[in-house]
Homo-oligomer: A and B are copies of this chain.
Amino acid sequence: MDLGDGTALLTDRYELTMLQAALRSGTADRRAVFEVFARSLPNGRRYGVVAGTGRLLDAIEAFRFEAAELDFLLSNGVVDETTAQWLEKYRFSGNVWGYAEGDCYFPGSPILVVEGTFGEAVLLETLVLSVLNHDSAIASAASRMVQAAQGRPLIEMGSRRTHEHAAVAAARAAHIAGFATTSNLEAGRRYGVPTAGTSAHAFTLLHDSERHAFEAQLASLGADTTLLVDTYDVERAVRTGVELAGPSLGGVRLDSGDLGALARSVREQLDALGATGTRIVVTGDLDEYGIAALAAAPVDGYGVGTALVTGSGAPTASLVYKLVARADRPGEDAPLRPVAKRSPGKPSRGGRKTAVRRFDGHGVARAETITTGEPDPGPHDRVLQVPLVRNGEIVGREPLAAARERHARSVAELPAAAVRLSRGEPAVPTEFVDGGARP
């Protein structure tokens, strides 16, 4: 299963049929602006988190039609020879601006702006949305879990509950949102996310007794390891673990039952055994609500699987990619004019937009101002779009740590209500200001 380097066929057929028809009608070279935004936040959430930007920049760079792709397209009648020749030379040569990765967003926030010819920009639609919809959905859910954990570390361990490559991206997005570690080794290799993990129930069941299993794990991983203690009887397992490892046993993991009550009794037992530094990690179908419910329990860390990789009830961010402006004729100098469809229930605002987050004197975000004019930040405000691609050259690459730090700052700037788990309005209201069309 060679996935190869190329990303050009990770797209919808209609992007190519539109290109072909536009090449024929002479409109493919019209300058065009597409914007990515969400019409709403899912499930009454207070904010969303932009994630996937770094992955997207790599994917845009790899968006090339090589012989294998062209052969498929031609032999299946997807495109004609003229279009294939155009595709062979395809390199995205336009500009992309976007909210910096890790920043928060709200309904209508123009989190990505793609400017180029219609032909070159329309081709990126599906890939842009796939990457941003997936990664932002995961990061948005992850951020709520991080807030619910109130400083306790979170382990991402959902790889087994999602597509094997989505799992790698999910681990990356969770790390941006504040998760400490991941179980996913490829995310460690590819993105440098710290990895974690020690053992499963199968390891205990493999051995002739739980004692044998613990001995084997301690011999291999040292006393600082975390023992899984709920295969048979938790109290007996904790006793055995401390007996074998001594009071410097690193941690114990609880994966089933009433996690709050168990954590309390295990904490008492550990303390009584002198293992006062031994951590208690809990796992087992946790989501942000389950984490919050354990706030008063003596828990030292949470492992989250299914809820993380499925976006905790919102597995996609529902971002759309809309043409908002285009020229009337080909050429760099042709002015852009706003366009928008009039489909009922799906209103779009025409015109290329900029965005500014407005802050009060205490550094608290109070409004998201979106305008078709130039951004107009006050002294406390932040212009939200940054350059990502300039004339086809990637300029927005940054270390993953930068996105992670940005996210922590961005959430900290939101009004206090933002971190409530209950359904509500977006934490920051979006204001649209008509600024006229920009050239």
Binding site for B on A (CB under 8 A): 1-5, 7, 9-18, 20-22, 24-25, 27, 30, 32, 34, 55, 58-59, 62, 68-69, 72-73, 76, 78, 118, 122, 125-127, 129-131, 133-135, 157, 159-169, 183-186, 188-189, 195-208, 212, 215-217, 219-221, 230-233, 255-257, 306, 309-311, 315-316, 318, 321-323, 326, 328, 339-346
Contacts and interface: CB of A to CB of B under 8 A. Distances in A.
A14 B200 contact: yes
Given A186-B10, A196-B13, A216-B22, A206 B310 contact: no
Contacts of A22: 203, 206, 216
A25 B215 contact: yes
B1 A58 contact: yes
5 contacts: A34-B202, A130-B161, A161-B318, A232-B342, A306-B316
Copies of this chain held together in the complex? 2
Given A16-B185, A201-B323, A134 B343 contact: no
B164 A163 contact: no
Contacts of A4: 2-3
Contacts of A3: 3-5, 165
Nearest to A32: B206
A20 B203 CA distance: 11
Contacts of A315: 162, 310-311, 315
A209 B122 CA distance: 19
Contact of A160 (B62, B133, B186, B208): B133
Contact of A205 (B168, B318, B341, B346): B341
Contacts of A188: 9, 13, 72, 76, 78
Nearest to A348: B201
Contacts of A2: 4-5
A203 B83 CA distance: 16
Nearest to A343: B256
A180 B163 CA distance: 22
B12 A206 contact: no
B257 A205 contact: no
A68 B186 CA distance: 11
Nearest to A344: B257
A80 to B, nearest CB: 8
Contacts of A205: 323, 326, 339-341
Given A12-B160, A72-B188, A72-B189, A25 B216 contact: yes
A5 B1 contact: yes
Contacts of A328: 208
Contact of A326 (B34, B200, B206): B206
B157 A134 contact: no
A36 to B, nearest CB: 11
A305 to B, nearest CB: 9
Nearest to A316: B161
Contacts of A122: 202-203
A247 to B, nearest CB: 21
A121 to B, nearest CB: 9
